[in-house]
């Protein structure tokens, strides 16, 4: 049923029309049909429809087509309303953007000492490098790392996992700024040689994974690519096995990365392929199995320029990088992760997913020094 608004007004030029017959005094317009005493065959017309009566309350709106029952010399006037806007489905409940902060920090502290090469004698070895200036990407990574530590470090955790990569540097940097009470009784569990050196140079107590009796309270790590469900590709630095071992032992697993690592589907932006740790003697067999799974050009990672020959992991194995088409669905992630694990000779692969360990939270740094946190709730 229509709701009438302002009455239309029609006008045309030409000789003056004969006076229109006066409508009967009690003529009502009713919802069914309204006849107006107007002759359109004459060349001139001036017509003003009477004001509409107030619409009845609760008048339903029917979206498809609405015909106004006005008969203008059998020329029906029809008005088609657009269909209603489609309903936007609610966002899946388990994904939750929990925080965005601005503005970027711009201060003299943008120049930070690097704990790997400290300038302060109290913090470790005498500095081999000078102060490092932060690029905008690094500023975002630092903001995200600081936020992750502030949100998850806790009061005095027993054990904290520290992953590998350039972003973890900012995690350790934030931890060093915490009070002595909060860190003196904490053991830091590295995921490889690089993070062990980082921790030692920062003056933090290193505990090897095999010496941790129970759970690790929280683990911080970087990632090479993170999808909308927080499935990750990791292992760009070749440390995926220990990273996964630390992650699965942790009560909370937090990933920190720059926003360029966020993608809708794994292997969309990280085109190098899934890093896979492989027993060296199994390599030819694993490569042929990967090809039959659909990997376009799996390769043993080269150690150059630091080393001639293959890259050797902290566990004495090779890394194979296996490119696959983007993993557009959860099903594709599950299928590939399980297939890779089923190849004899594969020690571990770099897909961190629901079946082993994906992070509960990820902190992404932006180029403006801002950050965004995303969390995934249990399905």
**Cis before 305? omega within 30:** yes
Residues in the interface with ligand 5RP (CB under 6 A) total 17
Report which of 152, 223, 217, 153 is spatially closest to residue 189, judged by C-alpha positions. Answer: 217
| No. of helices (H) and no. of strands (E), the chain | 7, 21
Site pattern 137..166 for ligand 5RP (x: CB under 6 A):
--------------------------xxxx
Mask of contacts with ligand 5RP, 242-281, x by CB under 6 A?
-x--------------------------------------
Residue nearest to ligand 5RP (CB): 165
Considering only residues 179 through 208, tell me which ones interact with ligand 5RP, judged by CB under 6 A.
none
Binding of ligand 5RP by 348 (CB under 6 A):
no
Longest dimension (CA), the chain: 107
Decide: is 224 part of the binding site for ligand 5RP (CB under 6 A): yes
Regarding 345 and contact with ligand 5RP (CB under 6 A), the answer is: no
240 near ligand 5RP, rule: CB under 6 A? yes
**Using the rule CB under 6 A, is 227 a contact of ligand 5RP?**
no
If the CB atoms of residues 221 and 370 are measured against ligand 5RP, the closer one turns out to be 221
Q: Tell me the window of 215-223, 281-289, 294-302, 318-326 that interacts with ligand 5RP (CB under 6 A).
A: 215-223
Distance CA 342, CA 328 (A): 21
Has 360 been annotated as catalytic? no
Token output for 294 = 């659909």
With CA atoms as reference, report the closest residue to 164 among 210, 197, 186.
197
* Terminal C-alpha separation, the chain: 45
Pair 145, 256: CB distance under 8 Å: yes
Which segment (32-40, 97-105, 216-224, 288-296) binds ligand 5RP by CB under 6 A? Answer: 216-224
Q: Do residues 283 and 318 touch, judged by C-beta distance below 8 A?
A: yes
**Do 132 and 111 contact (CB within 8 A), yes or no?**
yes
- Residue 365 interacting with ligand 5RP (CB under 6 A): no
Nearer of residues 190 and 238 to ligand 5RP, judged by Cβ? 238
259-264, long-range: CB < 8 A, 24+ apart: 259/140, 259/364, 259/365, 259/366, 259/367, 259/372, 260/137, 261/223, 261/224, 261/225, 261/226, 261/364, 262/226, 262/364, 263/225, 263/226, 263/227, 264/227, 264/228, 264/328
Q: Quick check: 358 binds ligand 5RP (CB under 6 A)?
A: no
Label the pairing between strands 371-376 and 95-101: antiparallel
Binding status of residue 315 toward ligand 5RP by CB under 6 A? no
- Which residue matches tokens 């099903």? 331
In whole angstroms, give the CA distance from residue 189 to residue 239. Answer: 13
234 forms part of the interface with ligand 5RP (CB under 6 A): yes
Q: Contact between 237 and ligand 5RP (CB under 6 A)?
A: yes
Q: Which is nearer to ligand 5RP, 153 or 364 (CB)?
A: 364
Q: Which structure tokens are listed for 70? A: 């006005």
* Residue 223 touching ligand 5RP (CB under 6 A): yes
Piece of the chain touching ligand 5RP by CB under 6 A; list 18-26, 44-52, 232-240, 334-342: 232-240
Stretch that binds ligand 5RP, among 146-154, 231-239, 276-284, 329-337 (CB under 6 A): 231-239
* Catalytic residue selected from 181, 197, 225, 243: 243
- Count other Cβ atoms within 10 Å, centred on residue 366: 21
From 138, 221, 227, 348, residue interacting with ligand 5RP (rule: CB under 6 A): 221
Using CB under 6 A as the binding rule, whether residue 239 contacts ligand 5RP is answered as: yes
In the complex, the residues that contact ligand 5RP under the rule CB under 6 A are 163-167, 221-224, 234-240, 243
Annotated catalytic residues are 243
């Amino acid at each position: 049923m229509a709701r009438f608004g302002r009455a239309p007004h029609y006008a045309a030029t030409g000789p003056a029309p004969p006076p229109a017959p006066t409508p009967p005094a009690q003529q009502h317009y009713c919802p069914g049909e309204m006849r107006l005493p107007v002759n359109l065959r004459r060349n001139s017309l001036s017509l003003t429809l009477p004001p509409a009566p107030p619409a009845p309350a609760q008048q339903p709106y029917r979206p498809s087509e609405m015909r106004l029952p006005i008969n203008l010399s059998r020329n029906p006037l029809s008005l088609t309303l657009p269909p209603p806007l489609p309903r936007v489905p609610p966002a899946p409940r388990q994904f939750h953007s929990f925080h965005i902060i601005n503005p970027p920090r711009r201060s003299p502290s943008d120049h930070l000492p690097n704990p790997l090469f400290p300038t302060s004698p109290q913090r470790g070895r005498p500095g081999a490098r000078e102060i490092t200036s932060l690029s905008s990407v690094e500023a975002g990574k630092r903001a995200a790392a600081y936020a992750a530590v502030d949100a998850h470090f806790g009061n005095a955790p027993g054990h904290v996992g520290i992953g590998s990569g350039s972003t973890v540097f900012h995690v350790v940097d934030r931890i060093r700024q915490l009070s002595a009470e909060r860190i003196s009784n904490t053991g830091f569990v590295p995921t490889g040689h690089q993070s062990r050196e980082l921790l030692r140079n920062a003056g933090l107590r290193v505990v090897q994974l095999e010496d941790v009796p129970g759970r690790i309270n929280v683990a911080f790590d970087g990632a090479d690519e993170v999808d909308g469900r927080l499935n990750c590709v990791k292992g760009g630095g070749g440390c995926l096995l220990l990273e996964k071992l630390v992650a699965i032992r942790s009560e909370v697993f937090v990933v920190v990365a720059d926003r360029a690592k966020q993608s809708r589907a794994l292997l969309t932006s990280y085109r190098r392929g899934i890093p896979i740790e492989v027993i060296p003697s199994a390599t030819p067999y694993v490569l042929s199995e990967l090809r039959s799974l659909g990997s376009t050009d799996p390769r043993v990672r080269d150690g150059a320029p630091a080393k001639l020959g293959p890259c050797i992991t902290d566990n004495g194995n090779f890394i194979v990088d296996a490119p696959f088409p983007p993993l557009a669905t959860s099903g594709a992630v599950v299928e590939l992760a399980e297939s890779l694990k089923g190849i004899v000779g594969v020690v571990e692969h770099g897909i961190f997913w629901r079946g082993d360990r994906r992070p509960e939270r990820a902190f992404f740094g932006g180029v403006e020094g801002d950050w965004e946190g995303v969390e995934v709730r249990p399905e």
